[in-house]
């Protein structure tokens, strides 16, 4: 049964049986002058019908080996063209590396393997984990954005050092955080990331339709940088860590580039500038659940 099934399966494996092209003849007759040249250039593949007649559905007349002979597969052996591989000569990854070694009388360097043998083999194999589905890494999570937050919305930041400040929303970044700017000259909030959950979206919107935000403003651009070179002993560690945050020139230029476009639009709306300068606060008798933002 299994053998016959295999023979039956071979049929769809063949090159689309019965795909004869009767239309091949007229174009060949038309191009009389270019006949030989045309045919040689455009080798129209004329597929043969199935060489394995059907006895019953799924069962062919000839066995696998018989079909091998009948299709002359012994003389049809194809390999993929080796174009760039020839040039690169199959670049192998580096197996060892020479590293410098200190101390005299040591010889200057050692040859060290890059991929080392495992230093431990467990006595029992790790049991096979059950299949799970839908457990994606963070980078593939679905990002949502509240409907009330659209580009140009004025947001109220609730946490962080800029809490209470009103800020203009620019776009949502790949990790889901919101890219936001003061603008800087109005309320000293630079281009910054804010979390959607810790933000109140007001219904005030600035028209940001034509504003071009540079493409290099991504999460990697905003991510906090930390030094990781614990060479020194405990005593000196606190000095080397970058406590003092320095504003790079690139940040300044990016800030200017974005803010100049936005400020022009803010000026058009009366009193909006003063609004963005002010901070949000609650007082007696003001209940957030009753406020319309």
Partner 1 sequence: VFKRFVEIGRVAFISFGPHAGKLVAIVDVIDQNRALVDGPCSGVRRQAMPFKCMQLTDFVLKFPHSARQKCVRLAWEKENINAKWAATRWAKKIEAREKKAKMTDFDRYKVMKAKKMRNRIIKHEMKKLQKMSSKKGKKPEKSEKPEKSEKPEKVQKSAKVQKAQKAQK
Give the footprint of partner 1 on this chain (CB under 8 A): 154, 156, 166, 202-204, 271-272, 274-275, 278, 280, 290-293
Using CA atoms, how far apart are residues 169 and 276, in angstroms rounded to an integer? 12
**Exposed, middle or buried: residue 199 (CB in 10 Å: 0-12, 13-18, 19+)?**
buried
Residue 206 or residue 211: which is nearer to partner 1 going by CB?
206
Residue 106 or residue 279: which is nearer to partner 1 going by CB?
279
Using CA atoms, how far apart are residues 262 and 152, in angstroms rounded to an integer? 9
CB 291, min distance to partner 1, A: 7
Residue 140 or residue 271: which is nearer to partner 1 going by CB?
271
Alpha-helical segments (H) within the chain: 2-13, 25-30, 35-41, 64-70, 84-88, 184-187, 219-222, 237-240, 249-268, 272-277
Residue 67 or residue 155: which is nearer to partner 1 going by CB?
155
Residue 63 or residue 202: which is nearer to partner 1 going by CB?
202
CB 176, min distance to partner 1, A: 24
CB 165, min distance to partner 1, A: 13
**Exposed, middle or buried: residue 113 (CB in 10 Å: 0-12, 13-18, 19+)?**
exposed
Residue 114 or residue 281: which is nearer to partner 1 going by CB?
281
Q: Which two tokens stand for residue 11?
A: 């049929």
CB 157, min distance to partner 1, A: 13
CB 142, min distance to partner 1, A: 30
CB 139, min distance to partner 1, A: 35
* Cα dihedral across residues 52, 53, 54, 60: positive or negative: negative
Torsion region of 16: left, alpha or beta (phi above 0 gives left; psi -120 to 50 gives alpha): left
Name the 3-class secondary structure at 232: coil
Residue 196 or residue 202: which is nearer to partner 1 going by CB?
202
Residue 68 or residue 293: which is nearer to partner 1 going by CB?
293
Please tell me what DSSP assigns to residue 83: S
The CA–CA distances, whole Å, from 226 to 3, 127, 139, 150, 218 equal: 64, 38, 21, 33, 18
Please tell me what DSSP assigns to residue 173: -
SS3 content of the chain, % helix, strand, coil (to 5): 30, 15, 55
Using CA atoms, how far apart are residues 16 and 276, in angstroms rounded to an integer? 69
CB 126, min distance to partner 1, A: 57
CB 170, min distance to partner 1, A: 19
């Amino acid at each position: 049964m299994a053998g016959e099934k295999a023979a039956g399966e071979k049929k769809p494996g063949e090159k689309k049986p019965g795909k004869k092209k009767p239309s091949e003849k007229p174009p060949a007759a038309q191009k009389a002058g270019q006949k030989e040249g045309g045919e040689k250039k455009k080798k129209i593949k004329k597929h043969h019908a199935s060489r394995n007649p059907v006895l019953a559905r799924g069962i062919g007349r000839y066995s696998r080996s018989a079909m091998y002979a009948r299709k002359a597969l012994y003389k049809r052996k194809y390999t993929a063209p080796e174009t760039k591989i020839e040039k690169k000569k199959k670049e192998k990854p580096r197996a060892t590396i020479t590293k410098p070694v200190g101390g005299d009388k040591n010889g200057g360097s050692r040859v060290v393997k890059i991929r080392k043998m495992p230093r431990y083999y467990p006595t029992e194999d790790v049991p096979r984990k059950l299949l799970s589905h839908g457990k994606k890494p963070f980078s593939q999570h679905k990002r949502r954005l509240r409907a009330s937050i659209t580009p140009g919305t004025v947001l109220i930041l609730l946490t962080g050092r800029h809490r209470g400040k009103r800020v203009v929303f620019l776009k949502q970044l790949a990790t889901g955080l919101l890219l936001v700017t003061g603008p800087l000259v109005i309320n000293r909030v630079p281009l910054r990331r804010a979390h959607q959950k810790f933000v109140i979206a007001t219904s005030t919107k600035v028209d940001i339709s034509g504003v071009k935000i540079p493409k290099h403003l991504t999460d990697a651009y905003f991510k906090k940088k930390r030094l990781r070179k614990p060479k020194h002993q405990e005593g000196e560690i606190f000095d080397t860590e970058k406590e003092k945050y320095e504003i790079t020139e690139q940040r300044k230029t990016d800030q200017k580039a974005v803010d100049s476009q936005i400020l022009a639009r803010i000026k058009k709306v009366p009193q909006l500038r003063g609004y963005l300068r002010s901070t949000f606060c609650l007082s007696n008798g003001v209940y957030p659940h009753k406020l319309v933002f």
